[in-house]
Amino acid sequence: QPSQADYFQAVNGGGHGDYHLIVLAPYSVQEMYDFVPLGFDLAFKYRNPVMILSDGVIGQMMEKVVLSPARPRWTDDRIAERCGAWAATGKPSSRGRNIVTSVELDSLVQERFNLKLKAKYDAIRRDEVRFEQTLCDDADYVLVAYGSSARIALKVVEMARADGHRVGLLRPITLFPFPTEAIDGLSRRVKGFLSVEMSTGQMVEDVMLASRFRVPVRHYGRTGGVVHSPGEVYDALKSNFSLQ
């Protein structure tokens, strides 16, 4: 059933440890296709897992898709160039074994490794944020939504604009890294945000933190596989911010 209740699990990690996945959130079948090579590129670039976080609406949708030309398979030399000593092209006698383990009994060594990971995540936050804004330049209120909820929110923006309300949409494409700076900037001039999710409220916490609580941040969502309608979201927008 359609749901977005796995947001916490995806962006905050599904286990213990100071780690992150790069999380891509498609809102169309085209993006489902496009994010596969992008995910591999990011995984190779940062040597980090990448998740494509879809939902039950996008996953069962039929749309036209433009297919890109097939990529040639990387040669062993190219793999070694991109992956360095960890390239899985066979072990030359000139180097020692590469051992992947989560067990490190020396706490100082483990701490150094964790700080190395933190530096990588900071670089990802700096360089890999992806998002899309629709009619946010003059907006008084901004909907924040990803995946199929963003498609619904686009219709809400259209309905609100037709009634004279200046409403925009910010669509996170990367859920980690989250578009914190974009929401921070908007929070300095808009009157409020509505986080639209198919959950009881998860991404809304990141919107609150990103906006630094300068303006009201509200949530609207359905759960259990129920998909909210544009009318329901529009009614929630009007009731939360007293729009006529």
- Regarding whether 24 and 123 lie in a shared domain, the answer is yes
| Distance set, CA 20 to CA 104, 105, 207 (Å) | 19, 22, 18
Tokens 């990367």 label which residue?
Answer: 174
Q: At what angle do helices 203-211 and 180-187 cross, to 10 degrees?
A: 60
Number of compact structural domains in the chain? 2
* pLDDT bracket for residue 236 (50, 70, 90): very high
State which of 83, 106, 127 marks the end of a domain.
Answer: 127
Confidence label for 205 from pLDDT (cuts 50, 70 and 90)? very high
Instruction: Provide the token pair at 11.
Output: 């962006």
What value does the mean pLDDT take over residues 28-56?
95
pLDDT confidence of residue 76: 81
Tell me which of 215 and 244 has the higher pLDDT: 215
Residues 47 and 116 in one domain: yes
Q: What angle do CA 86, 88, 91 make, to 5 degrees?
A: 85
Identify the domain containing residue 151 by its residue range: 131-241
Q: What is the dihedral of CA 153, 158, 161, 167, to 10 degrees?
A: 20
Looking at the domain assignment, is residue 117 inside a domain? Answer: yes
Rg (alpha carbons) of the chain, rounded to whole number: 21
Write down which residue in 106, 127, 148 finishes a domain: 127
Cβ–Cβ < 8 Å for 65, 34: no
> Which of 110, 127, 144 is the last residue before a domain boundary?
127
Q: Which residue has the higher pLDDT, 104 or 165?
A: 165
Same domain, 141 and 236: yes
The predicted pLDDT at position 46 comes to 93
Q: What does the alpha-carbon distance between residue 30 and residue 52 come to, in Å, rounded to a whole number?
A: 13
Look at residue 11 in the predicted model and tell me its pLDDT: 95
Q: Are 114 and 218 part of one and the same domain?
A: no
The structure's pTM equals 0.92
Share of the chain above pLDDT 70, in %: 99
CATH value at residue 188: 3.40.50.920
Q: What is the C-alpha separation between 73 and 100, in angstroms, rounded? A: 26
Contact 152, 145 (CB under 8 A): yes
pLDDT in tens, 43-59: 989 989 999 999 999 99
For the stretch 90-147, pLDDT in tens is 777 777 777 777 778 899 998 998 899 999 999 999 999 999 999 999 999 999 999 9
Q: Kindly state the average pLDDT of the residues 3-26.
A: 91
**For 219, phi and psi rounded to 5 degrees?**
-125, 145
Tell me what the mean pLDDT of segment 197-225 comes to. 97
Pair (123, 35) in one structural domain: yes
Closest residue by Cα to residue 237 from 191, 194, 173 = 194
**pLDDT the model gives residue 92:** 72
**149 pLDDT tier (thresholds 50, 70, 90):** very high
DSSP strand pairing (50-52 vs 141-144): unpaired
